[in-house]
Amino acid sequence: MGTLLEQPSDCLAEWVIATDGHAARRLPLLEMARRIISGVIEAEPQARRVLAIRLERWRYQHLDLRRGEANCMDLRLAEVLDLATNRLLGLAERPPRWTREAISHTGIDWPELHEALAALDARMPLDQVTAKAAALTAAHFSIGGRRRMFLYAPLYLSSHCVNYCVYCGFRFPNAIPRRHLSIEEAVHQAEILGQRGIRHILLVAGDYPRLTNVGYLSQVVRRLADCGFSTAVEIAPQGTLAYAELAAAGACGVTLYQETYNEQLYAIYHPRGTKCSYDWRLEGLERAAEGGMQRLGFGILLGLADPREDLAAMMRHARYVARRFPHCTIAFSLPRIYEAPAGFQPPFAISDELFVRLYCALRIAFPKAELVLSTREPAELRNRLARICITQLSAGSSTVPGGYENGEAAASGVVGPAAAAGFASTCGGWEQRGGQFPVCDNRSPAEVAAWLTDNGFQPVWTPGAGTPTAVVPTNPQ
């Protein structure tokens, strides 16, 4: 490994003692890891896992503490803890993480990225951009001359959340009706979706560790697998072993949006709660891949920051992760804020034209990536983008836990014309029902499938059907 684990450094130990108030408790962990990895002592698998979890936790606590002030010793300690965790878990040898460098390092850009960013320039004719994206999509996502379109639905398990994200309907201070589904209730919701044709379900939950822990989520995944559903998860970032447990239960992928890659704005939008940890979230998809997740969903929340800068950072991030884990399928989604909780006005307006250009740019930079579009957008725009570059559509969605009862296709509310024209309208119905955000396209799965068939698409309900690689949808969070 060539790290300080194999060649202990008094300098590193002295530095930890001088800078870390918990050094007396933490340094013995590092020494224990060194002795196990070097073969001086043996340890049972469970002991190795427990130690790995503690080192992983230490790493992210340290990165949070030193955010914006990290020096070479901070980075060296983070590298040591990263590789020690990897070796204790018996994972494949790999270089240290350098995610932060990847998202900002223009020296690793590739020709398609430059072409993609040029497509965002309003001086380039939009029809030229869409034609390019449509041709690439048709080349890689056609079945017998017909474009395939994968359909899925989100299943919200819990609206309880400890985070204070200023743009989210689930934020902790919001006075909304909250609900947490039992295992049986989750299965019942899935059965309703199954009756509507949905076979792939994206499990979504607020960040509330007491309720939505990995044990609960794994049970839901297993029960749904027993009922013939495939599942992916969109949940709070997890540790490597937690992702491994979910993968072992049957989850095929994970969606984890960074929201914005602008670290200063990220801190403003996430003032309290576990989501404050920028690095924990940023590196979550790498931990998911190491835990066995085969499909990784990236995304940014449009409206929070400069969309061009965020898109470039996300594309560099995805390229970096894809090269580290070439066996994984990459997916992207670009949720756009239409309405937000009272008191929050997104500072960056995203026009429909720019929205289309952003999706086309993703297709140009990643010709084979899955591009996902949610019911957050209106039907007309979804139809337009489906013809150009989208390969996965949610259908008949609800963002309310238990929202599929009584034939409700979208219990979280409809965005009216005024809301659809801009941001943060006063509609509010979706909040009254306890939704995370409002739904615009209220067509049922059957109606969406009928439109697709009538327009020359082949609707696909089962992951992997008609294509050599399975797909994983991402939710419009």
Same domain, 79 and 122: no
Of the residues 96, 131, 152, which one is the last residue of a structural domain? 96
315 in a structural domain: yes
For every one of its 477 residues, what pLDDT tens digit does the chain have, with 9 covering 90 and above? 444 455 446 688 888 998 889 999 999 999 999 999 999 999 999 999 999 999 999 999 999 988 888 888 999 999 999 999 999 999 999 999 999 999 998 888 999 999 999 999 999 999 999 999 999 999 999 988 899 999 999 999 999 999 999 999 889 998 888 999 999 999 999 999 999 999 999 999 999 999 999 999 999 999 999 999 999 999 999 999 999 999 999 999 999 999 999 999 999 999 999 999 999 999 999 999 999 999 999 999 999 999 999 999 999 999 999 999 999 999 999 999 988 787 889 999 999 999 999 999 999 999 999 999 999 999 999 999 999 999 999 999 998 999 998 554 443 444 333 333 333 333 345 555 666 777 899 999 999 999 999 999 999 998 776 553 433 344 433
Q: Are residues 86 and 150 in the same domain?
A: no
Structural domain total, the chain: 2
Would you say residue 109 lies in a domain? no
**Four-point Cα dihedral 400, 404, 405, 406, nearest 10:** 120
Query: Are 177 and 44 in the same domain?
Result: no
CB 214 within 8 A of CB 245: yes
DSSP collapsed to 3 states, 44-73: CHHHHHHHHHHHHHHHHHHHHHCCCCCCHH
Q: Which CATH number is 187's domain given?
A: 3.20.20.70
427 vs 1: CA distance, rounded Å: 57
**Measured between alpha carbons, how far is 17 from 13 in angstroms, rounded to an integer?**
6
Q: Is 267 within the bounds of a domain?
A: yes
The pTM of this model reads 0.91
> Using CB atoms within 10 A of its CB, is residue 115 exposed (0-12), middle (13-18) or buried (19+)?
middle
Residue environment code for 249-285, b if the CB has 16+ CB neighbours within 10 A, otherwise e: bbbbbbbbbbbbbbeebbeebbeebbbbbbbbbbbbb
Residues 417, 339 share a domain: yes
| Domain extent at residue 290 | 114-460
Do 233 and 380 fall into the same domain?
A: yes
Query: Would residue 469 count as lying in a domain?
Result: no
Whether the CB-CB separation of 445 and 197 falls below 8 Å is answered with: yes
| 206 and 311 inside one domain | yes
Whether 468 is in a domain gets the answer no
